Structure 1
C-alpha cells in the first residue's frame, strides 16, 4: 500500500513539473528555459527556434538530419509537452545530431526548455498543440 502511495505522489510531482499540453507556459518557466535553450539547443535549432536550412539531398550525408524548426513553422507543436520532454531527455534514434540529454538535464530543466519553445508559438498554435492538431486547424 505504501509503495502505491509513494508512486502516486511521485507521479503527481513529476507531472507538475511539466507544462500542460495546449496551455501557455508560465513566465518563470519560460525565463528559466531560455538560457537552457541557448546553452543546449541554440547551436542547431537557432535563434527563435527557426531551425537549420535544409540541405539538398544530392549533397547530404546519409543519416544526416538538419535540426527542425521548433517555432510554429514546423510540426513540433503536433507533440504534447511530455513527448517533447522525452525527446530532449532521450534524443532521437535516427540521428546522432539530437543527443539524449538525460544525465545532463533534469526533467524539470527539459520542461523549462519546452516552456521556452512554447513561448515562440502563437495562441492559436498553443490551443492546437498535441493530439488536437488534427482537428482544430
Structure 2
C-alpha cells in the first residue's frame, strides 16, 4: 500500500513540476490548436475566445450558462494547463453546454487547444497563469 502511495505521489508531483502552466506555447501547438478550436469550440466560445454575451437572469432558463470567454477577459487563465485539458476532456458537470470531448479528441489535441487559448492572453497573463494569479496581479 505504501509503495503504491509513493508511486502515485511521485507521478502527481512530476506532472506538476514538468507542467507548461505559465509558459508561452509554441507556434506549432498554437496553429494546431487554432484549427481544432475552429472545429470544436468556435460555435460557442466565439472568434478569438470572446465567449457569448450574458443573458439577463430574468429571461435565462434555470441552469443555463453562456459559453464563457476564454481570452483574458474571464478567469480561464486562473487554471493550470492540466485543469484546462481536464475540463476540455471531461466537460462540466454543472452544464451540458460544455460537453466532454474525451473520445472525440486526444489528450494531445486538448493540449493544443490550451496552447491556442494561451495565445489569446498577454505575456503578463501567461506568466501569472494558474495558482500564481493570486500573487502576481
TM bracket, shorter-chain basis: 0.7 to 0.9
What displacement does 1:25 show? 0.3
TM-score by length of 1: 0.87
Give me the CA root mean square deviation.
Answer: 1.7
The 5 A counterparts of 1:51-130 are: 51-130=51-130
TM-score by length of 2: 0.87
- Is structure 2 residue 46 aligned with structure 1 residue 40? no
Alignment deviations for residues 53-95 of structure 1 (CA, whole Å, 9 cap, x no partner): 0000000001100000000010000000000000000000000
For 2:63 and 2:106, how far apart are their aligned partners in 1?
A: 28
Gaps of 5+ in 1: none
Provide the secondary structure at the position in 2 that maps to 1:136.
Answer: coil
For 2:73 and 2:56, how far apart are their aligned partners in 1?
A: 19
CA separation of 1:107/1:33 partners in 2, compared to 1, >3 Å: closer, same or farther? same
